[in-house]
Amino acid sequence: MSVKELLKSHGTPPREVYFDLENSPFVPKEVVEEMLPYFNKYGYGNPAITHKPGWEAYGVLLEAKEFIAKTICAESPEEIVFTHSGTEANNLAVLGIALKNRKRKGKIVVSAIEHLSVTFAAEYSSKLFGHEVAVVPVDEDGFIDPEIFEAYMSKDVFLVSIQTVNHEIGTIQNIKELVKIAKDYNPDVVFHTDAAEAYARLRFSVKDLGVDLVTLSSSKIHGPRGAGALYVRRGIELEPVIRGQISVEKLWPGAENIPAIVGFKKAAELAFDNFEENVKKMKNLRDMLMEGILDRVPDVLVNGPRGNLRAPDNVNVSFLYVEGEALTIELSLRGIYVSSASACTSRMLEPSHVLLAIGRKYEEAHGSILFKISRYHSEEDINYALENIVEAVKRLREISPIKGVKNE
């Protein structure tokens, strides 16, 4: 069956609710409209070239750096380095520091639930330079025990990379405390945090946290794909991971994607406008969905913490006795679009490494569904989703070869 035939077979559901924001958030019209002029007259110039179109593009680039730097309390716009994604920013952080330390034996410390763009980069550093990669375990809600973390510290640790918010289960890590532990043990250690899932959902200051490197992503805040950023604290030295022509971004060469950077800035402006109201709305809808599932669907497990220690936009639930991929398809037929297991591994049908790390069994991890809430959702969306989740799970359990639940 072709893709067109598959889509046609779906029909037109009475309502569509898009929860797959972890995989690919939609871009609102305000962001698209802001970007449009920069595909031609105002944005085709290369900001590294000294002519009028180049100067115009360079001005746009600086304005975006200034705004993003302000939102995280960076000292200077020069501390913002644009990449083309959060994955690229994570690779620049990990491999950039690893390259700087390639001639020494040393250790990189990560958690067991990091984004794969951090984990794989650390493993690649081990393969290239022989660096040891130490993986800190987490508890059943995804938190790092400070005492256990401290046990992983030593004088040969040159890089620590711990997420601010986990991308699958929404755990909000106490980064400030972990930075203090690491720096008290070794003041020269570089501390990187992947804050792509925290940016514009939690207020944070890089000065207050004490971090050296911070990853941000446009697509995680309803900006376009094609733009990411790495905050590099002044004085931190890392080497470029890729090589190319001279550009504004010395650490990430190549012509900057001006339209995407414009969209990144606009998306950030929208997210930080009425910030508290936006976050409150997301939390209310998050709790409405989570509590509705727990009340109406038997045999489910919430993955990650509850309440204020969970990201305001994250709902991750394992539906027992149901295969997550089958539930994704069933919900899609009903106009509800979600992520099964990990958005980064779902097509490989492998259980999420995050869920395994918090102690979920393989079958529990395979039955997990990730819903991401945004300020663009409504209570009507949540009610429609709940109604169809109940029906979809019941239907799949009735025909499932996996037994153990009584359908009422």
Give the neighbor-by-neighbor strand order of the sheet with 368-372.
Answer: 300-302, 314-319, 368-372, 339-340
**The two structure tokens encoding residue 281:** 């709305």
Any catalytic annotation for residue 344? yes
Distance between CA atoms of 324 and 337, rounded to whole angstroms?
12
Residue that is written with structure tokens 């359990």 in the block: 397
Cβ neighbours of 169 (radius 10 Å) = 27
**E strand or H helix at 109, and its extent?**
strand 107-111
Pairing between strand 314-319 and 368-372?
antiparallel
Nearest Cα to Cα of residue 83 among 249, 281, 236, 307: 249
Q: Are 50 and 192 in contact (CB under 8 A)?
A: no
At 161 the three-state DSSP class reads strand
**Which residue among the candidates 110, 344, 373, 385 is catalytic per the annotation?**
344
φ, ψ (nearest 5 deg) of residue 346: -60, -35
Distance between CA atoms of 198 and 170, rounded to whole angstroms?
9
**The two structure tokens encoding residue 36:** 């449009």
At 196 the three-state DSSP class reads coil
Q: Are 271 and 71 in contact (CB under 8 A)?
A: no
Catalytic positions are 344
